[in-house]
């Protein structure tokens, strides 16, 4: 397969409560989700779509392929214009899930790390070093 012809277009979260996760992601992003069925919704950003599916949708791929609220490896990342301003707006809303308030990371991003209602890690970040800005402005 030619890697040039591939694009990452979607990340899907499997959950036991689609409406709760949809409401959470709509609140933190300010973007509306499209609810196609009670079991599946999408929140489209300019770069990628965040899909939210019920555990019933995962069963269509085979029994036990995904378990809701059991992610311990992936971080869902959103680039934001000003991570400190985003934190100011969302601090109270995120209080129970806050992992790390805005911090400048060694690779040049200023990052806010928190958990969604299912425990998935979410990172809001803003590139702040010249290298990070150049790397992410492609």
pLDDT at 42: 98
Task: Tell me the residue range of the domain where 122 lies.
Answer: 71-138
CA distance 79 to 85: 13
116 burial type by CB count under 10 A (0-12 exposed, 13-18 middle, 19+ buried): buried
Same domain? For 84 and 130 the reply is: yes
pLDDT tens digits, 1-37:
676 788 889 999 999 999 999 999 999 999 999 999 9
CATH number for the domain spanning 28: value is 3.30.720.120
Same domain? For 57 and 79 the reply is: no
Locate 95 and state its tokens.
């209080």
CA distance 130 to 117: 34
């Amino acid at each position: 397969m030619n890697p040039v012809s591939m694009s990452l277009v979607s990340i899907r979260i499997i959950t036991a409560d689609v409406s709760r996760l949809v409401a959470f992601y709509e609140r933190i992003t300010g973007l509306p989700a499209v609810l196609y069925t009670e079991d599946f919704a999408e929140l489209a950003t300019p770069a990628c779509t965040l899909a939210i599916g019920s555990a019933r949708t995962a069963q269509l791929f085979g029994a036990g392929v995904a378990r809701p609220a059991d992610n311990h490896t992936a971080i869902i990342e959103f680039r934001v214009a000003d991570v400190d301003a985003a934190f100011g707006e969302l601090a109270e809303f995120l209080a129970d899930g806050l992992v790390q308030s805005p911090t400048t990371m060694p690779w040049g991003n200023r990052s806010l790390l928190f958990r969604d209602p299912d425990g998935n890690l979410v990172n809001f970040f803003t590139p702040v070093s010249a290298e990070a800005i150049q790397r992410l402005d492609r």
